[in-house]
A and B are shown apart, each in its own frame.
Chain A
Amino acid sequence: MEIRGPATYYDGLTPRVHDVAIALGVDALTIRDLDGTLATWPLPRLIKLDARRGELRLGSVDQPDGRLEIRDPRLVRELSAALRDQPKTPGAKRSRGLVAGGLVLAALASVGVLVVFGIPAVAAKLAPLVPINWEISIGEEVKPQIVDMLGKGRQRTVCDDAAGAAALAKLSAELVEAADPPLPVQIEVIRLPVPNAFALPGGTILVLSGLIDKVATPDELRGILAHELGHVVHRDAIRHVIETAGLSALFGLVLGDYSGSTIAVLTGRTLVDAGYSRGIEAAADAFAVTVMKRIGRDPGALGDALNHITGSTPNFGESLAWLSTHPSTPDRVAKLKAEARAVPPETLLSQTEWAGIKAICK
């Protein structure tokens, strides 16, 4: 049973309009005009192509750019039914969709692997290669900005009470010697009632006065400082810069900037950043334990200090633990407490010296 009717034919060589009669047989589509047969397209090589509304446009793999346009409504209906199983674009097969889906899943998986393992690994490898004097120069640029930001609107941002500073120097000298950092370390106290401490690039450790208020013993302060020294020794600040650059390249450059991506990128970055930080904080904790053992003080004191700090800050709750940049405190405290040991009473600092540190911002 043949399907016959009128159509317009373009031979793919010129844009000339050929008014033709077509006949769809069992194995081929024949295109004729008054002068004779113009083309015969075997059915398996037939392709359906994009067309305007109400039109059917056919082509053949064997005749590139040759086109047949059918607009007669009856013929369009009949041919569409007869050619239902014909592919839409050249070479398209039914399995293409599956392959594409698989490719997308594979791409997503490799992006995941790159983000979770690749970038941190590369950053960890690259960070030690950044020359020490680069890091020191970066630190010199960053430090005043950070100190300004923290001490906004306050006078005497850096606490420099002479007695306290001397005692702090005495306490930290021992720690720094044990930690053996690759660059000179400066420890400064900033007047800000938030219990926190940071390690900046270039070996500066900033301790906020809120933290000085919270710690109960010299060993707790030592634990905090040893933890921050861990960041300095591991060169985590530089590592963070490299990781951020790598992530922005991945999310911005490779995955593209299409609308709606901004929030996905920000969320992804926050989660991934938090994930990286958890690993880095755990490493710094482990370093603190080693240093505290080396100088013969109690590694568990850092756990006590963490307990004092979290008692005063709003708890995110277990469900939001993945958002927090530090590992959930009970886990960290448990790990640190496992290392706790009995140590002789404080001999390095006198009672007055410790009181001086506590009053360094008064």
Chain B
Amino acid sequence: MNDWSQPGLPPLPNQRPPLPLVPPQRGGDAAWTGAWAPVPMPAVLSVERAYFDIDTPGVVAMAIWGSLLSFLTLGIYRFWFTVNVRRDLWRRAMFAGSSFEYTGTVWEIFKGFLVALIILAPIWALYTLGTALLPSRQYGEVAGLMTFVAVIAFLFFIYFATYRARRYRVSRTLWRGVRFHQTGSGVAYALMNFGWWLLVPFSCGVSIPFARASLERYRMNNTWFGDKRFQSQASGSAMMPGFLSYLGLVLGPSLLLALLGGVALAMGVGVQHVGEIFDELSRMTKIGSTVGDRHAAGIVFGFGFLILAAIWLCLAPFVCWPIYCAWEWRSFTERMSVGGVKFRSDFSAWEFYTTYLVFLAIMTGLLMAVSMVSGVVIGLAYLAHAKDNSFLPIIVVGPLYLLVLWGLSVARLKVFLFGLTGKLIRTTTVIGLELLGDTLSRRDKVGALGDDFSGGFDIGAI
């Protein structure tokens, strides 16, 4: 039974052709021996696109009902909502036509939430005591220390919980009847996070790619499919050209603009004989005629450039970040393997940007519609009754604000969670999936039972 192409499989719509590739060298798994005879290897490894079903409807309806019920039940329904979202997300994702299956339950997430609450309660008490109750004049150091300890403990818990939540989700993932699972320690992961982020200020940010690669290696090298371990060669130094380009994109234009501004200021203010160009500029732009002379033009242009430099310096780190993230995703994907199976990605930053733009458009549309409706309603009400309507804005705007939040949570799920996940999966190519044929499922007691600490909160995206 080595036939990995399944007869009777309906063709998948909108499937991209797989990335053209030279088949990679096989890993060390050929020497594997065990209860199952090694699968005879085909001469050429299969190359196939992963698939994510974005055409089947249901996401928007699920998001609408889930947000509404979560709101109406003061958030208690979110446990069911989370499980529904994950089940739908998992069953839409496919390797070789076989969809994944999420086997987690509401009860497990709820148990994780209770444990998280037990951990968070003392942290919260410490924080409240430090910030609100202890008078800082009398107990300044003690209160400061308590707040500091609470913040550090909370951060530690977030990192720890993120790792354990990943362990939970991974262990509840089934593909072709075999489970994934995750080893490693949440405490170690949290400590690694702290160590790496402490280094960031000392390295002027250069350690960031190394930190991200190191954490990726820790996550992936502790991820298993049955008895096959994932291996990641994610590398910070391989990301350095990308990271330096990112820094260049952020700092380069800022430096150039700042330099121009400095030169303009110097010309305008101090240096008398090199100001002819500003005479020309001020004549052309008429700034000189309104402000006075070329000194003024120099000052105006100088400060203009400096302000532009500052604006770019503030915006660019965020605007350019998706470019780096897309590079990193492709690099990490290519450096990941499991049992000789390799992966490729042609995910581009453009896919990030279109996602953001769609979300931005929805948000703008919603806000415009709501402000128009509320403006008209309030205006009409003021015309109708000149008096006694001081509460009207609250009564009108409150529910509309809720509607906007509702719309945004639906859009977030549809556009970001399902949309972006779909793009990430559909741009992935899997090479040599048949090498997993001799995988053995593991049924040990490392069950990761109910330790989804973040499922009940909004820590982590899924």
Contact = CB atoms under 8 A, between A and B. Distances in A.
Interface stretch (B24-32, B130-138, B208-216): B130-138
A53 B97 CA distance: 11
Contacts of A50: 87-88, 90-91, 99, 101-102
Contacts of A261: 70-71, 74-75
Given A67-B176, A137-B138, A141-B135, A256 B457 contact: yes
Contacts of A18: 1
A14 B441 contact: yes
A122 interface: no
B1 to A, nearest CB: 5
Contacts of B8: 6, 71-72
Interface residues of A, number: 63
B227 to A, nearest CB: 10
A256 B458 contact: yes
B458 A55 contact: no
B178 interface: yes
A17 interface: yes
A314 interface: yes
Given A253-B120, A255-B75, A15 B439 contact: yes
Interface stretch (A100-108, A164-172, A351-359): A100-108
Contact of A258 (B90, B92, B443, B458): B458
A314 B387 CA distance: 12
A17 B78 contact: no
Given A11-B177, A261-B71, A134 B133 contact: yes
B177 A130 contact: no
Contacts of B77: 104
A28 B179 CA distance: 26
B9 interface: yes
B16 to A, nearest CB: 18
Interface stretch (B183-191, B193-201, B373-381, B402-410): B402-410
Interface string A316-335: 00001000000000000000
A64 B443 contact: yes
Contacts of A257: 457-458
B182 interface: no
Given A15-B437, A256-B75, A257-B458, A67 B177 contact: yes
Given A64-B443, A71-B10, A241-B132, A260 B402 contact: yes
B73 interface: yes
B163 to A, nearest CB: 20
Contacts of A107: 73, 76
B74 A260 contact: no
A140 B73 CA distance: 42
A264 interface: yes
Nearest to B93: A52
A194 B177 CA distance: 73
Nearest to A112: B74
A54 B409 CA distance: 28
A87 interface: no
B261 interface: no
A140 B74 contact: no
A262 B178 contact: no
Interface string B386-399: 00001100000010
| Highest count of chain A CB atoms <10 Å: which of B53, B70, B139, B456 | B70
Contacts of B138: 133-134, 137
B417 to A, nearest CB: 12
B69 to A, nearest CB: 9
Cβ-closest 7 pairs across A and B: A137-B135, A10-B177, A15-B176, A259-B409, A52-B99, A50-B91, A137-B138
Given A107-B73, A111-B74, A255-B76, 7 more contacts: A14-B439, A17-B6, A17-B176, A66-B177, A137-B139, A260-B402, A263-B402
22 contacts: A15-B177, A15-B437, A17-B6, A50-B87, A51-B99, A51-B101, A67-B101, A67-B176, A107-B76, A130-B133, A134-B133, A137-B135, A137-B137, A137-B138, A141-B137, A245-B133, A253-B121, A255-B74, A256-B458, A258-B70, A260-B409, A264-B74
Interface of A: 6, 8, 10-19, 33, 49-55, 57, 64-67, 69, 71-72, 89, 100, 104, 107-108, 111, 130, 133-138, 140-141, 241-242, 244-245, 249, 253-264, 267, 314, 320
